[in-house]
Amino acid sequence: MIIDGKKTAAELREKIKKEISKLKSTYNAVPGLTVILVGEDPASKIYVKNKEKFAKEVGMNSEVIRYPADLEEKVLLDKIQELNKNKRVSGILVQLPLPKHIDKRKVIETIDPRKDVDGFHPMNVGNLSSGYDSSIPCTPLGCSLLLKKVEKNLSGKSAVVIGRSNLNGKPMTQLLLKENCTVTVTHSKTKDLKAECQRADIIIAAVGIPKLVKGDWVKKGTIVIDVGINKTDSGIVGDVDFDQVSKVAKAITPVPGGVGPMTIACLLKNTVECFKKSNI
Ligand code: GUN
């Protein structure tokens, strides 16, 4: 089975669009998403354009603030503080990576946790790991929704997460724990990654190494979620060797068309959640 992230994301966006239309008649207001882009990173420019496009498509107020790469940190922090106070703004996202002279941690911690649609603020990270209500980072949330499409009950499953980043690996681990999986978090110092993967019922590959996971790493019946987006001479490929692994896996996400579209749909979902909470 190939897990169709494009279709699942389109369905989720349709649901969100309907919900926003209802919210509009209840509150006479719609959720607002503000995305900040600093610099000219080509991939970031594409991501931000898509975020803007889909936010508009579902009926949100969508705004993108673009700054040059040599932006003074204080200007960015002041802008975030202004957005924190703006009632029309439900969610704030600062696109990463940021230029080196800007302190990423300071930027993330300046965003009001109630408007942190990325789920990167330490308060949201802490709440997620404590099992409390929180914003959940968009990519792991998308992965978890795709997993649930294949298997409703993940309890007791053995899950291997490849990569331990704050963006993906760590929050993904928390979400799998919440589903009662037994989770192994692997990384560049892991001794025998192949052997770890061979034991897994679920593999989440989020490491940024093209086609790392091979066919003989995966046992029959495993669900494989590929978070990788790697540029190679033969085009964009994931962290999983799709041709090999799709022959043995029970279900697998393709790249492109798997996790990618879900990330933006989940960002819209998080923005709606922030809007709803601000209206309680
Ligand atoms: N850069 C790559 N992925 C992401 C993401 O999910 N959020 C933000 N803010 N920046 C990113």
Integer Rg of the chain from CA:
19
- Whether the full predicted model's pTM is greater than 0.95, yes or no, is yes
pLDDT in tens, 88-137: 999 999 999 999 999 999 999 999 999 999 999 999 999 999 999 999 99
Q: Which of 95, 120, 267 to probe ligand 1 with, by most ligand atoms within 8 A of CB?
A: 95
Same domain, 166 and 243: yes
Rounded distance between C-alpha atoms, residue 241 and residue 245, angstroms: 6
How many angstroms separate the Cα of 50 from the Cα of each of 45, 127, 155? Answer: 9, 29, 35
- Decide if 178 is inside a domain: yes
Instruction: Tell me how crowded residue 221 is: count the other CB atoms within 10 A of its CB.
Output: 10
Residue with tokens 């019946």: 221
The residues that are catalytic are: 51, 95, 118
Return the residue whose CA atom lies nearest to atom 2 of ligand 1. 96
By percentage, how much of the chain surpasses pLDDT 90? 99
Query: How many domains does the chain fold into?
Result: 2
- Decide if 1 is inside a domain: no
- Residue 33 is predicted with a pLDDT of 98
- CA of residue 247 to ligand 1 center, whole Å: 31
HSE (side-chain half, CA atoms, 13 Å) at 158: 10
- Decide if 8 is inside a domain: no
- Residue 280 is predicted with a pLDDT of 74
What's the domain range around 206? 138-260
- CA of residue 11 to ligand 1 center, whole Å: 22
| Whether 58 contacts 16, CB under 8 Å | yes
What are the backbone dihedrals phi and psi of residue 223, each rounded to the nearest 5 degrees, phi first?
A: -100, 130
